[in-house]
């Protein structure tokens, strides 16, 4: 029996692919930009803060990444459509969509006004739905498949006692949307998956990595649930993201991939 003909470099190749990263200036968005840019993809980066977006575009250009920037959030159908149109104008097509935009708002449910809940759902669910819809139309029209990666969380699977009713609900919705679109778009060769991290090093979580009494206490309690015994690093997300954006994941769709050190396995 002969060995199967497998070319790992071809399986994980995104060179020349047109990739949109929404929420590009956030912690995971920057990981996505760095990963796909270093792997040779042409990027269209979108975020609401024009100044931060410009700074990121300069960093990527200095690293010789082909990059188009558009200072918009996918808060409406026109915004989502313009982001996709910008990618097509700059790079000719759309092959990959990474939805890294999102927010959290922590409060006990009895203290959370409905408009605060609505903002979390808009940022984490409705915005992603609009962006997937716009990019999906383009991918279907191209007729060559594509890759969509949502950002979920361990909190889409597990609850939390500290006021996470909006966030957990939103990420569970992302998981459901991932599965539904994975079923709906399989016939078009469009793989739809979600990457679900837990705590990884970023400006928002930097305090958990510090060497002080409060950080040590919180970190120790959290790590008691993490089999690998450490917090995440940006590199821990890069590998699974690249997998989900390449032909290596062509037979994977509707899946939530937990990059969590085993946190959700227990």
pLDDT digits (tens, 9 = 90+) for 35-93: 999 999 999 999 999 999 999 999 999 999 999 999 999 989 999 999 999 999 999 99
Tokens representing 200? 């990884």
Asked if pLDDT for residue 15 goes beyond 90, the answer is: yes
Q: Residue 206's pLDDT is what?
A: 80
Least confident of 65-69, 71-75, 184-188, 241-245: 71-75
Query: What is the maximal distance between C-alpha atoms in the chain?
Result: 65
Interatomic CA distance for residues 21 and 254, integer angstroms: 19
Q: Which CATH number fits domain 9-197+233-257: 2.30.30.90, 3.40.50.720, 3.40.1180.10, 3.40.50.2000?
A: 3.40.50.720
Phi and psi of 153, rounded to 5°? -165, 160
- Active-site residue numbers? 167
Least confident of 96-100, 111-115, 124-128, 201-205: 201-205
Helix (H) or strand (E) holding 234: helix 234-244
Asked if pLDDT for residue 156 goes beyond 90, the answer is: no
Name the DSSP letter for residue 248. Answer: G
Q: Is the pTM of this model over 0.85?
A: yes
Contact (CB, 8 A) for 167 and 155: yes
Domain ranges of the chain: 9-197+233-257, 201-231
Interatomic CA distance for residues 155 and 254, integer angstroms: 18
Backbone angle region of 153, left / alpha / beta, with phi > 0 → left and psi within -120 to 50 → alpha: beta
Interatomic CA distance for residues 252 and 29, integer angstroms: 22
Q: Residue 73's pLDDT is what?
A: 92
Q: Residue 214's pLDDT is what?
A: 86
């Amino acid at each position: 029996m002969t060995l199967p003909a497998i070319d790992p470099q071809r399986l994980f190749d995104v060179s020349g692919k047109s990739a949109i990263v929404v929420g590009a200036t956030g912690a995971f968005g920057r990981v996505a930009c760095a990963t796909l840019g270093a792997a040779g993809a042409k990027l269209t980066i979108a975020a609401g803060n024009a100044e931060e977006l410009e700074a990121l575009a300069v960093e990527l250009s200095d690293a010789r990444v082909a990059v188009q920037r558009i200072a918009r959030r996918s808060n409406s159908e026109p915004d989502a459509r313009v982001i996709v149109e910008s990618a097509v104008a700059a790079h000719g097509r759309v092959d990959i969509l990474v939805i890294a935009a999102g927010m959290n708002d922590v409060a006990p449910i009895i203290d959370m006004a409905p408009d605060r809940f609505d903002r979390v759902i808009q940022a984490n669910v409705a915005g992603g739905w609009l962006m997937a819809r716009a990019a999906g139309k383009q991918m279907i029209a191209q007729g060559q498949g594509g890759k969509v990666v949502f950002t979920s969380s361990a909190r889409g699977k597990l609850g939390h006692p500290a006021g996470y009713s909006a966030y957990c609900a939103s990420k569970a919705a992302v998981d459901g949307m991932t599965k539904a679109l994975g079923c709906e778009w399989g016939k078009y060769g469009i793989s739809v998956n979600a990457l679900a991290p837990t705590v990884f090093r970023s400006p928002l979580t930097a305090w958990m990595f510090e060497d002080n009494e409060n950080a040590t206490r919180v970190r120790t309690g959290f790590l008691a649930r993490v089999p690998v015994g450490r917090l995440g690093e940006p590199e821990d997300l890069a590998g699974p993201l690249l997998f989900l954006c390449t032909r290596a994941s062509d037979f994977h769709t509707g899946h939530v991939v937990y990059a969590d050190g085993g946190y959700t396995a227990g």
